[in-house]
Amino acid sequence: MRSPTVGDDRGFVTVEAALVFTAITAVVGVVITGVMTLATYLSAVGMARDAARAAALGDGASAQTVVAAADPEAQVTVSGAGSRQGTSGQDNDATDLLTVTVVVPGRLFDISATAVIVNEPD
């Protein structure tokens, strides 16, 4: 039987490999979570856009119906505001803007997207 010598490096490769595999697994997990979060955000943007179109053509209930069809857990907020100020600072005809905000529950945190559209005239 051999006696251990000072400066023996046996076993260090195994420990280093275990640390590297753990680090690689953590990095891959973070990348996958980031991609899933990005996909959820893009989905929320699409739902907000579609809900804004539906709200401009109909009412707020139609916007909620559109979003509920895509994701039943998503929350929708439709708000309308009249803006009388033009880009030059002078008063113009009233323009009704609808703002639709969609909040989708994510794995780590809630993800929100907002769409603004001009209300269609009656």
Query: Range with the lowest mean pLDDT among 3-17, 22-36, 41-55?
Result: 3-17
Query: For residue 63, is it within any domain?
Result: yes
Query: For residue 90, is it within any domain?
Result: yes
**Mean pLDDT (whole number) for 41-51:** 96
Domain range enclosing 106: 12-118
Query: For residue 98, is it within any domain?
Result: yes
Query: For residue 1, is it within any domain?
Result: no
Total of domains in the chain? 1
Query: For residue 19, is it within any domain?
Result: yes
- Residues near 52 by beta carbon (within 8 Å), at least 6 away in sequence: 63, 98, 99, 100, 115, 116, 117
Query: For residue 7, is it within any domain?
Result: no
pLDDT digits (tens, 9 = 90+) for 80-103: 854 344 444 444 455 689 899 999
Query: For residue 5, is it within any domain?
Result: no
pLDDT of residue 94: 54
Query: For residue 52, is it within any domain?
Result: yes
pLDDT of residue 74: 94
Q: What element of type H or E holds 113?
A: strand 110-118
Confidence of residue 115 (pLDDT cuts 50, 70, 90): very high
Q: What element of type H or E holds 30?
A: helix 12-57
> What is the Cα–Cα distance from 8 to 40, expressed in whole angstroms?
51
Query: Range with the lowest mean pLDDT among 69-78, 81-90, 111-120?
Result: 81-90
Residue 26: alpha-carbon gap to chain centroid: 22
Q: Which of 101, 112, 113, 119 is nearest to 54 (CA)?
A: 119
